[in-house]
Amino acid sequence: MLATTLEDIRRITFREMPDPVIQHPTDAIVKVIASCICGSDLWPYRGDNGPVAQPRTIGHECLGEIVEVGPEVRDFRVGDTVVVPFDHCDNTCAHCLAGNQQACVNYDMTTSGQGELSRVAQADGSLVRIEKPAASELPDLLALSDVFPTGYHAAYSAGVTRGSTAVVVGDGAVGLLGVLSAKILGAERIIAMSRHESRQKLARTFGATDIVAARGEEGEAAVLDMTEGIGADAVLECVGTGAAMVTAFNVVRPGATVGFVGVPHGVELPVGTMFKKNARLAGGLAPVRRHLPDLLPLVLDGTVNPGLVFDSTLPMSQSAEGYRQMDEREAIKVFLTPGA
């Protein structure tokens, strides 16, 4: 197959790689019908996860059409169109049953989502079947494989409730969908911390009531001013850096929760602030399969349009350009169409 491949730090190609194969009887192979680039793909791309030992496929967000199933897959057939959660799970182990599919004992991940084909472990547990979508429906549906449930997980973990005030730290696609998710969960006031005009605009479209463009101490002071010095009822940390985490804990009200979903990179948590405030930390890797039953209907009936985060579309063969656009923050999120 042809697949987006990380050859080395900052070097993406679209080239021939071995087809994925059924490794376990519960696996399925899908033909990718829509894909995209994730902010977390930029970590290995930039070399922040260390050197690239050998060329490897990259990409973990996709919609697919099943082309092969293992002998123990019971609920899906060749030809089914499916949402592929980036985190695969059996959905039957003790952790899955407790809603922690991200800790499934049979956990696996999509690893060639920006290629022509991708393997899904635990097909019965992971996949969700949908009707064959029209091209115009692809972006909203594709967002269900990671970025929307991840933003939702931040809001959910932060404990956003009806009538509450939520702050969203980070204006990447996850942060923007965190805004949308805070809205879904009933937040009355949603303060988006964003410096970029196009992202501010999308944040408002998704439900942000206030924008704070300043960062660091100045931005924190602005949020505290807006909340009469009390702080926010819930904070969504959607970046994954130490600075974002410090801001999150400085603006959350005592006893309230910071929901975090950014893959932590060099984060040292401000434990002293957390101790004094009794500010809680919750969240982490999103259990996508857990949230799909709540989010898919909202997409299907048009209540929400998470696909608005895609502001650039390229064929997979140009994924290197997509990485460049996201790396330089020219694009919020790049949608990739299959093939050349």
Residues near its own copies (CB under 8 A) are: 94-95, 98-100, 102-103, 157, 228, 230, 253-255, 260, 263-264, 267-269, 271-272, 274-285, 287
115 vs 240 by CB, closer to its own copies: 240
156-193 burial by CB neighbour count: b if 16+ within 10 A, else e? bbbbbeeebbbbbbbbbbbbbbbbbbbbbbebebbbbb
278 vs 303 by CB, closer to its own copies: 278
In whole angstroms, the minimum distance from the beta carbon of 255 to its own copies comes to: 4
100 vs 305 by CB, closer to its own copies: 100
In whole angstroms, the minimum distance from the beta carbon of 233 to its own copies comes to: 9
15 vs 277 by CB, closer to its own copies: 277
Contacts of 7 (CB under 8 A, 6+ apart): 13, 52, 55
| Residue given tokens 């919750």 in the structure block | 282
How far apart are the C-alpha atoms of 257 and 161, rounded to whole Å?
A: 12
92 vs 317 by CB, closer to its own copies: 92
15 vs 280 by CB, closer to its own copies: 280
1 vs 282 by CB, closer to its own copies: 282
In whole angstroms, the minimum distance from the beta carbon of 285 to its own copies comes to: 6
In whole angstroms, the minimum distance from the beta carbon of 263 to its own copies comes to: 7
In whole angstroms, the minimum distance from the beta carbon of 98 to its own copies comes to: 6
Contacts 24+ apart (CB under 8 A), 189-194: 189/164, 189/165, 190/165, 190/166, 191/165, 191/166, 191/167, 191/223, 191/226, 191/232, 192/168, 193/167, 193/168, 193/169, 193/219, 193/223, 193/247
How far apart are the C-alpha atoms of 98 and 6, rounded to whole Å?
A: 35
By 3-state DSSP, what share of the chain in percent is helix, strand and coil, each rounded to 5?
35, 25, 40
Sheet holding 56-57, edge to edge: 11-16, 2-8, 56-57
Among 196, 198, 194, smallest CA distance to 178 is for 194
Q: Rounded to 10 degrees, what is the CA torsion of 193, 157, 207, 131?
A: 130
84 vs 279 by CB, closer to its own copies: 279
How far apart are the C-alpha atoms of 67 and 80, rounded to whole Å?
A: 8
